[in-house]
Amino acid sequence: MILSTELTETLKWGMPTYTLDGINVAGLVAFKSFVAIWFLNGVFLKDKQKKLINAQEGVTKALRQWRFSSVDEIEPELIKAYIDEAINNQQAGKTIKPAKNKPLIIPELLADVLVKKPKLKDCFRQFSLSKQREFADYLVQAKKEATKIRRLAKIEALILAKIGLNDKYK
């Protein structure tokens, strides 16, 4: 169905991704209890039938998913309409621009370690503001204290090795 459009199929992150002029528009993903079509700029889709969800409220700005728990939920004509609208939105240049100069808020746990370990602080300061923010956000997103401690140990090693949190994905 998606291949009948002008989108080009490629593999990104180990899953089928559909692009227009090299820019991600949609993709397919499978989990244990559902499969989904994601729309990179799904926030701009009209979604009159209320099929789309934001999988990570407060984190995800533009991406939206349409989840299917059974084959009976698949509506080919409606899916095609959503895909066509996503293509039109991409051609019209509808996209959310990332927030510029978001302030860096260093969590207390990391701040304490940076004070106690000057070498770690020096290495941390050598990272770009966006990479420093990635480390800080990674800690803040942990809910349990044990997870925060484990994440702190992980990022300490990365910082000292001068490796960004997400560098392995590049």
Q: Give the per-residue pLDDT at 6.
A: 93
Average pLDDT over residues 20-33: 95
Which of 48, 31, 42 has the alpha carbon at shortest distance from 64?
A: 42
- 13 pLDDT band, cuts 50/70/90, is confident
Kindly tell me if the per-residue pLDDT of 170 is higher than 80.
no
- 98 pLDDT band, cuts 50/70/90, is confident
Average pLDDT over residues 118-133: 94
Domains of the chain, each with CATH number or no CATH: 2-91 (3.90.1150.200), 108-169 (no CATH)
Average pLDDT over residues 163-169: 85
